[in-house]
């Protein structure tokens, strides 16, 4: 997919956002909910250098109610892998990807995502890039994934499934598309930003990589 944005706005209004075309992930979605499905998914992801990253958690509607993470999404431009953590946990193979400095994991507000994963299995994250930090070097002032998609890629994404039950026995088609899209679009934003010159020449993997080990 080609996005063709040569210049970017610093911000976008909700009215401007509403006028943009709606887009979602159109590649292959793999739902990983049995241990025997892990090997092929991890083999593919281990050979990537850049992947989108996100998690989903069952929403809590009562004060003080907190649920563990339900879903881990890792995606490239062509394939999205939705790991049902509530069913299979965090395997050693998944941890290897999350701790690999050679595989860049791109996302928005990733610190909280990492913390909820660390509650399951303690690990030292590496190779994570926070888009909210990266876009500051391009003068962008909106930091939500929805608005970053609009500013950088020229389309909007749906957030309608965000507050659905991610612990459901079977995820709906809407949830699968939503989960895949959130991880995929982070990867696409990062790749597009790398095509656009930034005034200050900085190492692309250092300008936004957060010290997530603290």
User: Who has greater pLDDT, 67 or 189?
Assistant: 189
The predicted model scores a pTM of 0.88
Nearest-10 Cα torsion for 28, 86, 188, 202: -150
pLDDT (0 to 100) of residue 211? 57
CATH (one of 2.40.50.320, 2.40.30.60, 3.40.50.460, 3.30.420.10) for 14-194 = 3.30.420.10
Closest listed residue to residue 172, CA positions, set 88, 89, 71, 93: 71
% of the chain surpassing 90 pLDDT: 77
Full DSSP string of 123-181 = ----SEEEHHHHGGGGT----SHHHHIIIIIS-B---TTTTS-TT-SS--HHHHHHHHH
Domain spans of the chain, in order of start:
14-194
Sheet order of strands, 50-57 included:
28-32, 79-84, 69-75, 50-57, 104-107, 128-130
Closest listed residue to residue 39, CA positions, set 81, 73, 75: 81
For residue 214, pLDDT beyond 80: no
């Amino acid at each position: 997919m080609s996005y063709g944005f040569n210049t970017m706005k610093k911000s976008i209004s909700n009215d401007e956002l509403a006028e943009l075309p709606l887009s979602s992930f159109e590649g292959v979605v793999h739902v990983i909910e049995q241990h025997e499905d892990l090997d092929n998914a991890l083999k593919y992801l281990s050979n990537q250098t850049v992947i989108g990253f996100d998690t989903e958690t069952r929403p809590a509607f009562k004060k003080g109610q907190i649920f563990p993470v339900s879903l881990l999404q890792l995606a490239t431009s062509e394939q999205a892998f939705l790991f049902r953590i509530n069913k299979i946990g965090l395997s050693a193979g998944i941890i290897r990807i999350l701790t690999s400095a050679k595989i860049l994991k791109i996302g928005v507000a990733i610190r909280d995502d990492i913390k909820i994963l660390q509650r399951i299995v303690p690990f030292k994250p590496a190779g994570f890039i926070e888009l909210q930090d990266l876009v500051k070097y391009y003068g962008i002032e909106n930091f939500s994934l929805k608005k970053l998609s609009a500013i950088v890629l020229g389309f909007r994404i749906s957030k309608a499934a965000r507050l659905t039950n991610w612990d459901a026995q079977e995820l709906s088609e809407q949830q699968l598309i939503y989960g895949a899209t959130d991880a995929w679009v982070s990867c696409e934003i990062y790749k597009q930003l790398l095509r656009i010159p930034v005034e200050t020449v900085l190492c692309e993997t250092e300008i936004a990589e957060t010290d997530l080990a603290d």
